[in-house]
Copies of this chain bind each other. A is one copy, B any other.
């Protein structure tokens, strides 16, 4: 096995040797497992992380799966500058109010002090809007459907590996449309695309819905989100899709000559998914033994551990290599761990910790019997499998694990979703075992804020379909929607 920078030690800032049990301290477990499995590490820059090869491989798989879907729906990629002049960032009033406290400012270039500070993009509406104003002139130029993969910097006070870091990676789509209806359609199409993507690839069931006004993106008319429930019962916003209305179009002068020759502002959307998703996968599927990766985004889907008896390099290894080749030919991402310096037992624990979905053991006795041993990471079941038809059996098993992880997460969410009829009940639920609480809400920010102050729970999102009815769980006024509340990351 080539050692490609994913060596064995963590070192520095508290070497990680033992992993805190998940039930004992979820947050500590989370950090331990990331560092011990070498997904990421702290850097010398406050709040910035290093995504190590094993973690970055997951991001590459996320990128592939998502980029394919983004392109299949007619979008194209481009790249806009990292730096945004202050004067542009401040053009949209809500936008600057929302992001100004989080901006990193470049004030010096080489030896010269800059006349105007440049923001490192906290998001790219301002720079992209400026270019769209230049490029778009007629309804014939619409829609513009552009996405970019980029790094983002937001000055965060409290950071956490993957979930909230000063710099993170994401994709951001920015589109321009002729009509309000088209922009709304795009916003919801992408929300659906995100839901299908995370559910299919990450085995992460999510609730799609609309954000309340107080939780919407700075400068948006409407924000939609998908929300997942983590293993500790807290919610994680997994992606957002914003209908920007004409807010940015008016701030940046993005106008076009309409079919009736009148001059109109375009209708915009923007939407993104970030490296925090990796944190979500860890928190949703992991257990006390470490990571549990859904096969579709696992860097290694299968690890082969040959059992070293006698002259195993002559007897066992060729069989292991043949299986490696068979699986690779089937498109399975497989790793053959033939290192001498480690025992099979050590390797079992190591790859379990690293979340590899299937472990395949092969020793002299297995070869005699024409079989191998398989161990599922999700259920930790062991089963023997015939050497004949093995590759197809493993492909099926990977699909079964993917499905099973998704089902398990759905069941967990169902078990951690309650409906509250009264505010007392509402508060009581949130004091006990956390999870989603569904309750009617009157639509006022006041109730939303009071609920947060009383329970720490925030309004995650509101159903896409009409759900008016009942009375607000806090104030007793008529309910405009049945909201999902939860404590959240």
Contact = CB atoms under 8 A, between A and B. Distances in A.
A134 B41 contact: yes
A109 interface: yes
Copies of this chain in its oligomeric complex = 2
Contact of A2 (B9, B102, B145): B145
Given A7-B135, A12-B134, A135-B11, A127 B78 contact: no
A192 B207 CA distance: 51
Contacts of A117: 108
A156 to B, nearest CB: 9
Contacts of A110: 100-104, 155
A76 B49 contact: no
Nearest to A12: B134
Contact of A5 (B2, B11, B76, B150): B76
A481 B229 CA distance: 66
Contacts of A83: 45, 48, 104, 153, 166-167
Interface stretch (A21-29, A50-58, A216-224): A50-58
Nearest to A48: B81
B11 A134 contact: yes
A166 to B, nearest CB: 8
Given A9-B135, A341-B140, A151 B82 contact: yes
B74 A51 contact: no
Among A120, A137, A143: residue with most chain B CB under 10 A: A120
A142 interface: yes
Contacts of A127: 43-45
B118 A45 contact: yes
Contacts of A53: 76-78, 146
A136 B88 contact: no
A60 interface: yes
A251 interface: no
A50 to B, nearest CB: 5
Contact of A78 (B50, B84, B151): B50
A79 interface: yes
A52 B59 CA distance: 24
Contact of A101 (B8, B111, B135, B166): B111
Contact of A146 (B4, B44, B60): B4
A344 interface: no
The number of chain A residues touching the other chain, given as a range, is: 35 or more
* Residue from A118, A137, A142 whose CB has the most chain B CB atoms within 10 Å: A118
A10 to B, nearest CB: 8
A467 interface: no
Contact of A52 (B6, B78, B88): B78
A105 B104 contact: no
A349 interface: no
Contacts of A140: 3, 7-8, 341
A169 interface: yes
A81 B50 contact: yes
Given A110-B102, A118-B45, A4 B82 contact: no
Contact of A81 (B43, B141, B150): B43
A136 B107 CA distance: 36
Contacts of A3: 140-144
B79 A131 contact: no
Question: In this complex, which of A60, A77, A100 has the most chain B Cβ atoms within 10 angstroms of its Cβ?
Answer: A77
Nearest to A54: B76
Contacts of A151: 82, 150-151
Given A3-B141, A79-B169, A135-B9, A45 B107 contact: no
A130 B52 contact: no
Interface string A108-138: 1111000001101000000100110011110
Nearest to A156: B110
B75 A4 contact: yes
Contacts of A16: none
Contact of A79 (B51, B111, B166): B51
Given A7-B135, A105-B107, A43 B146 contact: no
A134 B153 CA distance: 25
Given A3-B140, A3-B141, 12 more contacts: A2-B74, A3-B143, A6-B76, A12-B134, A41-B134, A43-B80, A44-B88, A44-B127, A56-B78, A57-B77, A82-B167, A104-B109
Closest 5 pairs between A and B when the two form their complex, measured CB to CB: A48-B81, A7-B141, A110-B155, A53-B76, A105-B108
